Amino acid sequence: MSTPADFTKTAIIFCDYENGILSMASEQERLGAFLEKSATFRKAIHAVPLERRPFVINVKVAFRPGHPEIAADSSRAYVKNANMFVEGTPSADFHPEFTPLENEPVVVKRGSSAFYNTDLELLLRANKIQKVILLGISTSNAILSTVLQACEREYGVTVVSDCVYDPKPEIHAFLLECRFTRRIDVIDSATIIESLQNLA
């Protein structure tokens, strides 16, 4: 396992820290610990002077009114039926502690992966990014699908182990301890924060 030395070619991607998704989590104690670790990590990033700060990208799920992006027989039809994640509504807004700064781009997605039908790769290529650090919710959905597509595109990938959450602890543990470690780095937030503090 390794952490970037200077972060100059690294993007940190916050996945799905939005009200509607967080509200669906049932285990409040685990969710609270995840949010606390994630907020601490985010503050450590913002403590780095802007000229040396890693490139931060914020990803969220959002749809047009009426959800024309979702077919009636789709496995995601429940989102359409419940009128969830409509752009500009509270459920599609970022959690207050994870509101993007003015200089941080927002990538809007319609599915699980941060890459699928979005401009994420355009942002990464334009900024000469070679490595991505991922955190967010959920481990078996947004994180897993984004990890796989990042690997296919030959990015170096790190998942922040204590800044990802999944409603099923056993699947979460399997992914972090077995599946992910075959192809990517899995590192706790304290280790990365230590590297970030060297940039301050």
- Which domains are delineated in the chain? 10-198 (3.40.50.850)
Q: Which amino acid, one-letter code, is at 97? A: E
pLDDT tens across 48-76, in order? 999 999 999 999 999 999 999 999 999 99
Cβ-contact 115, 150 below 8 angstroms: yes
What are the DSSP calls for 49-68, one per residue? -GGGSPEEEEEEE-B-TT-T
Task: Kindly indicate the confidence band of residue 109, based on its pLDDT and cuts at 50, 70 and 90.
Answer: very high
Judged against a pLDDT cut of 70, whether residue 105 lies above it is answered with yes
Which tens digits make up the pLDDT trace of 10-28?
A: 999 999 999 999 999 988 9
Decide: residue 188, CB within 10 A, 0-12 exposed, 13-18 middle, 19+ buried.
Answer: middle
The model's pTM is 0.95
Inform me whether the pLDDT recorded for 1 exceeds 60.
no
**Ramachandran angles phi, psi of 188, nearest 5°:** -75, 160
